[in-house]
Amino acid sequence: MFAILSDDTVWLLQRGLAVPSDTFRLPKGMFSCVVVPMRSPLVPAVLLFCVAAILLCGCIEPPIKEPVVTVQDIRLEDVSLRTMTFNTTIIIFNPNGFGVDLNRVAFDVYYDDSGDHYLGHGERTNITVKENGNTTVTVPVIIGNAPAVQAFGSLMQHGSLEIKVNGSAFIDVKVTEFEEKFENRRTFSTEDFGAFIPLSSPGGSGINLTGGLRQLGGLLGVVAG
């Protein structure tokens, strides 16, 4: 720190006389003091140095913080004779005071039956992520007929179907790109599929949920064949 002193204070110092107690009081965190008389030719240089130091401090940016990516939800969206659709909702939390770019989010969908069995792939690109908060991205994944038949077979055998999502988000934060990996699972019951199955036969007689699922599974198998 620099202290610019009056001529009277310098005169007292040169003669070893006492000066006011607060003349050299330093702000908290300062550890040194350079005495510069007011009429010294160094005054302009000292002032210039102080201004430059203040401006430099104002230009220093806070450190870049790494975004966080999580899977909020995996939802069964639709079931038809040809496909099955799952919606995956992903949340990107950006802790920085500026927006960032989600260059790409990509993931694979599996069902678990004594191991992972591939169902499909989901991907979105070029999404703006807002500053200091969450950005939500929903990606639909359409499951083709053949893997859908296999998934229905597992559902009928076990009474439930565990869906797994596994992927990465590639986030551009100014001069660097972060790869944020994510994974989540959700177990669906036969009742979850029941909303997409009409529980009546063409003749008007009712059928139960299990019968409807078997009927839909059989139709999917016929279409696949």
pLDDT of residue 219: 45
Q: Which of 184, 178, 183 is closest to 95 using CA atoms?
A: 178
DSSP 148-186: HHHHHHHHHHHSEEEEEEEEEEEEEETTEEEEEEEEEEE
Task: Calculate ∠ Cα 23-29-30, nearest 5°.
Answer: 45
User: What distance in Å separates the CA atoms of residue 84 and residue 187, rounded to the nearest whole number?
Assistant: 15
pLDDT of residue 79: 86
Report domain extents, the chain: 2-59, 68-224
pLDDT of residue 151: 92
Q: Give the residue with greater pLDDT, 187 vs 22.
A: 187
pLDDT of residue 195: 78
Cβ-count burial of 165 within 10 angstroms (0-12 exposed, 13-18 middle, 19+ buried)? Answer: buried
From residue 22, how far is each of 16, 40, 46, 69, 192 by CA, in Å? Answer: 17, 22, 21, 54, 77
35-75 tens-digit pLDDT: 445 555 555 665 566 555 555 555 566 788 999 999 999 99
State mean pLDDT over 200-207: 44
Q: Are the C-beta atoms of residues 104 and 92 closer than 8 Å to each other?
A: no
pLDDT of residue 175: 82
Q: Give the residue with greater pLDDT, 87 vs 55.
A: 87
pLDDT of residue 109: 97
177-190 tens-digit pLDDT: 999 999 999 999 98
User: What distance in Å separates the CA atoms of residue 138 and residue 225, rounded to the nearest whole number?
Assistant: 32
Q: CATH topology for 68-224?
A: Immunoglobulin-like (2.60.40)
Q: Give the residue with greater pLDDT, 64 vs 106.
A: 106
Q: By three-state DSSP, how is residue 1 classified?
A: coil
